[in-house]
């Protein structure tokens, strides 16, 4: 599973999944904290659709953490104040970069969480569709 997809699942999904995966790594390997979870601001870059030019929309508060497992560094960044999740994401990132054997069995859990997220999004969209209003205009 690609890193971006895995990170999106872990951020949007149940935080207990990230905690369980990170705990598994912490239990078997020494994890050195390089940067403790801390808050910071980062600029959000957007693409203007007509001219396809980039611009900065504004700043967002993020929590970031950085750890090391062996010679591999992992980074966890998440929007808002979510220190535990940022730390867990950093451990998971370092484990994946290091190619640890435990990461091989994570795909099934992550795919199951992805399915659960897709179901939740479908239910939310269906609830929004019920409130949709259709406006018709009368023209001559």
Distance set, CA 96 to CA 11, 28, 29, 104, 127 (Å): 16, 14, 13, 9, 37
Distance set, CA 54 to CA 43, 49, 50, 76 (Å): 12, 9, 11, 25
How many CB atoms neighbour CB 5 within 10 A?
12
What is the distance between the terminal CA atoms of the chain, rounded to a whole angstrom? 56
pLDDT tens for each residue of 78-132:
999 999 999 999 999 999 999 999 998 899 999 999 999 999 999 999 988 888 8
pLDDT value at 140 more than 80: no
Smallest CA-to-CA distance from 62 within 28, 90, 34 is with 90
pLDDT tens for each residue of 25-84:
999 999 999 999 999 999 999 988 888 899 888 999 999 999 999 999 999 999 999 999
- So where are the chain's domains? 3-122
Which has more confidence, 87 or 135?
A: 87
Average pLDDT of span 6-28: 94
pLDDT confidence of residue 137: 76
pLDDT value at 138 more than 80: no
- Using only C-alpha atoms, what is the Rg of the chain? 20
């Amino acid at each position: 599973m690609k890193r971006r997809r895995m990170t999106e699942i872990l951020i949007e999904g149940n935080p207990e999944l990230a905690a369980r995966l990170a705990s598994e790594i912490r239990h078997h390997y020494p994890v050195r904290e390089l940067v403790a979870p801390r808050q910071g601001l980062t600029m959000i870059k957007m693409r203007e659709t007509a001219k396809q030019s980039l611009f900065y929309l504004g700043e967002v508060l993020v929590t970031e953490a950085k750890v090391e497992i062996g010679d591999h560094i992992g980074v966890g960044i998440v929007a808002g104040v979510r220190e535990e999740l940022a730390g867990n994401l950093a451990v998971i990132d370092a484990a994946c970069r290091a190619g640890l054997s435990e990461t091989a069995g994570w795909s099934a859990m992550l795919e199951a969480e992805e399915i659960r997220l897709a179901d939740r999004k479908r239910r939310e969209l269906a609830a929004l569709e019920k409130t949709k209003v259709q406006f018709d205009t009368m023209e001559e």
